[in-house]
């Protein structure tokens, strides 16, 4: 307990999935947490269940103005921003042959543009102290290109990984202690995965699809990612910058 005691974290996409699990664990380990999400109802639910250490703030990650407001509200509440987790994301099923340009742009607007805007806003909030931890969620899909029916998602997450490296180098060469690291989760049992399966095989077949899926690749739980988020948000990782963490139980190196 207390691994991030006294720190202030902003979690985009904190109303569900990996963001929710990470926000809850950060709070249990002593952080004050902003649940920033376009889903106001679930953001308020999560914040209410966490208690006094959490606040829900509406956020459309594609809006530069809303990102600025989230950071300003966080500074007004707790006076600083120590951690940013960019976990908001969407997926649209479609290969290179059947994906539309509008779909491609929509996925990249949320996953890549949203991450860029979050990093930029957090960097501005962290710059006066010169310290902080930015944690970006990419995906194993960005490393291995599979499955091929999520081409826009894969491309967006590849951009997130490259952006993370650029931010890390920028910080290092400017003598700052604002670290930026990137996570590449494999298949994790989240609402995003379950909803994608439901669209693919039908809601009534999701459980069977998960069983079949688990025969060929490991399926993790959100806390498998949240544990690494807490590590990267804590001072335990003060020498970790520009790193890429693959969280897939070895699937990507088979």
The residues annotated as belonging to the active site are: 153
CA distance 132 to 112: 21
Query: Which residue has tokens 């539309």?
Result: 100
Pinpoint the alpha helices (H) of the chain.
Answer: 17-28, 40-50, 64-78, 101-108, 114-126, 141-144, 151-173, 191-201, 206-214, 222-233
Is the peptide bond preceding residue 68 cis, with omega within 30 degrees of 0? Answer: no
CA distance 244 to 52: 33
Give the tokens for residue 91. 């997926």
CA distance 97 to 95: 5
Give the tokens for residue 49. 């269940």
For residue 242, the 8-state DSSP code is: S
Distance in Å from the first CA to the final CA of the chain: 35
List 184's β-bridge partners, or say none: 246
Give the tokens for residue 184. 């590449």
Closest by Cα among 84, 111, 94 to 23: 84
Q: At what angle do helices 40-50 and 17-28 cross, to 10 degrees?
A: 20
For residue 254, the 8-state DSSP code is: -
């Amino acid at each position: 307990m207390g691994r991030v005691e006294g720190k202030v974290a902003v979690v985009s996409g904190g109303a569900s999935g990996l963001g929710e699990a990470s926000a809850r664990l950060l709070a249990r380990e002593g952080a004050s947490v902003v649940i920033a999400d376009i889903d106001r109802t679930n953001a308020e639910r999560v914040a209410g269940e966490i208690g006094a250490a959490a606040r829900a703030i509406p956020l459309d990650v594609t809006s530069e103005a809303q990102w600025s407001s989230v950071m300003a509200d966080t500074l007004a509440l707790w006076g600083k921003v120590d951690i940013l987790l960019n976990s908001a994301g969407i997926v649209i099923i479609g290969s290179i042959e059947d994906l539309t340009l509008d779909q491609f742009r929509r996925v990249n607007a949320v996953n890549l543009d949203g991450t860029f805007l979050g990093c930029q806003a957090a960097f501005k909030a962290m710059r006066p102290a010169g310290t902080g931890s930015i944690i970006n969620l990419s995906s194993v899909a960005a490393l291995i290109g599979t499955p091929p029916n999520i081409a826009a998602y894969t491309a967006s997450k590849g951009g997130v990984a490259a952006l993370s490296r650029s931010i890390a180098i920028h910080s290092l060469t400017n003598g700052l202690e604002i670290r930026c690291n990137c996570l590449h989760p494999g298949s994790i049992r989240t609402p995003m995965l379950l909803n994608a399966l439901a669209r693919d095989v039908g809601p009534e077949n999701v459980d069977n699809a998960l069983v079949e899926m688990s025969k060929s690749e490991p399926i993790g739980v959100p806390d498998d990612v949240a544990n690494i988020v807490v590590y990267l948000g804590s001072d335990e990782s003060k020498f970790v910058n520009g790193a890429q963490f693959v969280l897939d139980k070895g699937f990507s190196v088979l």
